[in-house]
C-alpha cells in the first residue's frame, strides 16, 4: 500500500521535530505532541501510468496558552514535508505539498490544535 509507505516516510521525516509524533497517542501523554490523523487515497492514473494521490492530515496539540506553540510545531512539519522527495518503501513519490494549515482552540478553551494537510502523488 502506497499510503502506508507514505506514512512511514512521514514519520521518518518528522522523527527529529521538537515534540513526539504518534499514530495512536498513549494514555496520559503530556502536551504538546503531534498526531497522524488520516490518509485518503484516490486513483490518479494518467494514461497508462498507475498513480495515486494521497491526502494526509497531521495535527499538532498544545495547552501552552495561545496559538504560538502549535504555530511553531506546524512550521517544523511544513519545513520537513513541503515539496520534499521522501524515500518510500513502495512506489515513487512524485510530489508532496502542504496544501493547507489551520489552527483552532478546542471547546475546553485550554487546548489548541494546529492542522497540516498535505497532498502526495505516488507513481507505481
Reported as half-sphere exposure (CB side, CA atoms, 13 A), residue 16 has a value of 4
**44 pLDDT exceeds 90?**
no
Burial zone of 106 (CB within 10 Å; 0-12 exposed, 13-18 middle, 19+ buried): exposed
| C-beta of residue 97 within 8 angstroms of C-beta of residue 119 | yes
Residue 13 pLDDT level (bands cut at 50, 70, 90): very high
Question: Considering all CA atoms of the chain, what is the largest pairwise distance in Å, rounded to the nearest integer?
Answer: 52
What confidence tens digit (pLDDT) does each residue in 65-79 have? 899 999 999 999 999
pTM score, two decimals? 0.93
Own/partner pairs for 78-85, CB < 8 Å, 24+ apart? Answer: 78/116, 80/13, 80/14, 80/17, 81/10, 81/13, 81/14, 81/116, 81/118, 82/118, 84/13
* Domains by residue range for the chain, with CATH: 2-123 (3.30.2000.30)
Amino acid at each position: 500500500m502506497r499510503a502506508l509507505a507514505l506514512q512511514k516516510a512521514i514519520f521518518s521525516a518528522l522523527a527529529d521535530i521538537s515534540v513526539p509524533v504518534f499514530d495512536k497517542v498513549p494514555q496520559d501523554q503530556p502536551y504538546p505532541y503531534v498526531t497522524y490523523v488520516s490518509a485518503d487515497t484516490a486513483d490518479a492514473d494518467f494514461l497508462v501510468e498507475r498513480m495515486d494521490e494521497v491526502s494526509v492530515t497531521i495535527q499538532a496539540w498544545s495547552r501552552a496558552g495561545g496559538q504560538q506553540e502549535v504555530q511553531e510545531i506546524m512550521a517544523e512539519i511544513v519545513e520537513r514535508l513541503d515539496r520534499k522527495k521522501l524515500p518510500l518503501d513502495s512506489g515513487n513519490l512524485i510530489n508532496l505539498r502542504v496544501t493547507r494549515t489551520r489552527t483552532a482552540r478546542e471547546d475546553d478553551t485550554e487546548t489548541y490544535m494546529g492542522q497540516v494537510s498535505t497532498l502526495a502523488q505516488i507513481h507505481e
